[in-house]
Chains A and B, each alone.
Chain A
Amino acid sequence: MSRFGLTSAAKGELVFTSFLFLAGVVVITDTALLPDMLSDTYVSPKVFAFTVGFMLAGLSLFQLVQIFRGKLGTPDGIEGGQLSTTSNWMALAVAIGSLLFYVLFIELLGFILAAGVLFSGLTWALGAKNKVRMVLIAFVFSTIMFFAFTQGLQLPLPLGFDFLTGVEPTDAEW
């Protein structure tokens, strides 16, 4: 309990709702900074954007007040599992880390490796116990997907390791 008598869940919701409010402010400022355009349309791109910006900012302000009145959001249920009472920060960090690894290294190290790491990382984060089986399934899966998509569906996926051949990977290749 803090000074305002907020629980940790309320504090989390407070931070998130403030972020929503901030997003509203960003929409409003961005719209205000748009140059005035002389065009033949009667409705400028600002009209709709201002409406949405003020709606977002106003409603999140209302929601901020609701938090102090003790009205908190109920977390969604889990498909195929149960909602846990505690938060698993470690698992969340691993899951986000695996996703980041995939995003940052897919072009450099190729799809098979990046997706393999993503798959094993997430299975671990979701609580699978058998590590060897986890990594094995992950790489078999990513390899099969790689060939199914590049050979079967003709959808190009990066093979990676272009630095070995001295060719700089560029966006243009994709």
Chain B
Amino acid sequence: MGFIDGLLASLTLTNLMFGLVGSLLGTLVGVLPGIGPALAITLLLPITFTVEPTSALIMFAAIYYGAMYGGSTTSILLNAPGESGSVMTTIEGNKMARSGRAGAALATAAIGSFLAGAVATGLLAVGAPFIAELGLRLTPADYFALMVLALGTISAVMGQSVVRGLISLSIGLAIGFVGIDILTGAQRLTFGYIYALDGISTVIVIVSLFAVGESLYVAFKGRFGDAEVIKFKGKAWMTKDEWSRSWRPWARGTAIGFPLGVLPAGGSELPTFLSYNLEKRLASRKAKSEFGKGAIEGVAGPEAANNANAAGSLVPLLALGIPTSATAAVMLASFDQFNIQAGPLLFSERPEVIWTLIGALFIGNFLLLLINLPLIGMWVKLLKIPPHYLYAGVLTLAMLGAFAVAQNTFGMTVALAVGVLGLLFRRYGYPITPLILGVVIGPMAELELRRAVQIANGDFMTLIEKPFSVFIYAILILGLIVPKVWPKIKKRMAIK
């Protein structure tokens, strides 16, 4: 089974329908503030009990892609990012809309997203089997190194400082300990509660951190003004000049977004930020004067980076079973629900699932272009829903989900407590993503560590015995130190 078979298999009526539903839902959660793809997929996890694995995974992946499209609409027309990956789009996109060029901004965002998504999905189809092949040769010690790299770099790049990221990570790892240790039966951090023995569900943590934490934070510190939705009539399309100014940023955005998705950079904040700054630097004199006033390059680049990044983050998820963003972490949880082991064996053991999924991503990406260009007017109307009601609706839905998972007061109390933690994290500038990845990757990393040391008869030096692991740790150390040291070196050289 290969790519062409997968593409054909994804064209069944059921799979197309789930792809369409996922695309619509994804665009919806992208457009609406207060709910993102990670939370949306978490709330939909219960469908894994009734729906075929392939169909459900197609829907989840379509939500991930769709949220990247939808986020730009809110950024451009409302001057508020609908998604963390569209913060950069807001800067130029909203200025363009204000000067009557909303159509062009929406078009360059949607077409750029489509092209980047298509190219990046192609790279995923080519690259993932190759990396899976590599993954088959890795030992538990290597996997442990990769997971440490993922956790370390994500913590380093996501927060306002490396230390804040690592603290967030530690809290996540600690939450991951709660319960009975499978290998020894030791009870960690249960404090004698029977309900705590099963551990704290990832679903509860994600739902509480996002929905509860965000709602409390907005109530405490936020203010919904009469946000002005910029009127948009007519078609989302571009002039010849705008096309010629867009295609290079699209290409560069894709080139930045995809590799940063494959590498553990923790989501789309970093690639969109880099893309925006690159476009600003490379802009021609005319375009440069437009930056800050509505330069189309500043929308085209980050939007392409955004989608390419989402596709890129599927590579380590599918090929190695290691998630590098919050949404990928939730998708990993959905694989678990189906007892499908994401990782190198996926391509040999369940080729029908993986290739149908990749095929469906192509179809879904095309559907998203249709949903977001001609039907843009439909999404614009959604922006008129008062945010108070939106947040309340999302929270109520999330607490329903928490009840369905927890089924007892203990689980619900945990949900509330984690929600308060989410509020405090936002208030004091601690990043959320490292915590979530700590909860998800932590137990996996501990298992690999134990396997590795057990194989080596208790010798911890096995962790740095193979060149591959040493190489990975070296990358991690470089990644943590260079950004700190580089400015100082540059300064010193300038003085001399």
Contacts and interface: CB of A to CB of B under 8 A. Distances in A.
B160 A55 contact: no
Nearest to B78: A80
Contacts of A84: 221-223
B484 to A, nearest CB: 14
A38 to B, nearest CB: 9
Interface string A25-42: 011001100110101011
Nearest to B408: A171
A159 interface: no
B188 A34 contact: yes
B377 interface: no
B276 to A, nearest CB: 16
Interface string B168-209: 001101100100010111111101000000000000000000
B355 interface: no
A108 to B, nearest CB: 11
Contacts of A171: 407-408
Contacts of B453: 42-43
Nearest to B74: A80
A97 B155 CA distance: 33
Given A43-B454, A56-B174, A99-B416, A92 B219 contact: yes
A81 B427 CA distance: 15
Given A56-B170, A81-B225, A95-B216, A43 B449 contact: yes
Given A43-B453, A53-B174, A87-B221, A12 B400 contact: no
Contacts of A27: 174, 177, 189
Contacts of A141: 393, 396
Interface string A1-39: 000000000001100110010011011001100110101
Contacts of A107: 409
Interface residues of B, number: 82
Contacts of A55: 166, 170
Given A56-B167, A59-B163, A155-B46, A79 B82 contact: yes
A37 B223 contact: no
Contacts of B397: 145
Contact of B219 (A41, A74, A88): A88
Interface stretch (B108-116, B128-136, B359-367, B381-389): B381-389
Contact of B429 (A48, A76, A119): A76
Contact of A118 (B183, B189, B389, B399): B399
A88 B221 contact: yes
A113 interface: no
A37 B400 contact: no
Interface string A101-120: 01110110001000100111
B164 interface: yes
Contacts of B289: none
A75 B224 contact: no
B395 A118 contact: yes
Contact of B223 (A62, A81, A137, A155): A81
Contact of A30 (B189, B386, B388, B454): B189
A59 to B, nearest CB: 5
Given A49-B188, A55-B170, A145-B397, A95 B449 contact: no
Interface string A59-91: 110110010000011111111111110011101
Interface of B: 32-34, 46, 74, 78, 80-82, 87, 160, 163-164, 166-167, 170-171, 173-174, 177, 181, 183-189, 191, 212, 214-225, 227, 386-393, 395-397, 399-400, 403-404, 407-409, 412-413, 415-416, 419-420, 423-424, 426-430, 445-446, 449-450, 453-454, 457-458
Interface of A: 12-13, 16-17, 20, 23-24, 26-27, 30-31, 34-35, 37, 39, 41-45, 47-49, 52-53, 55-56, 59-60, 62-63, 66, 72-84, 87-89, 91-92, 94-96, 99-100, 102-104, 106-107, 111, 115, 118-120, 122-123, 125-128, 137-138, 141-142, 145, 149, 153, 155, 157, 171, 174
30 contacts: A16-B424, A20-B167, A23-B171, A35-B186, A39-B183, A41-B454, A43-B454, A44-B186, A45-B181, A52-B177, A56-B167, A56-B170, A62-B163, A80-B78, A80-B387, A81-B80, A82-B223, A82-B224, A84-B222, A89-B220, A95-B219, A102-B412, A115-B396, A120-B392, A122-B391, A125-B219, A141-B393, A145-B400, A153-B46, A155-B404
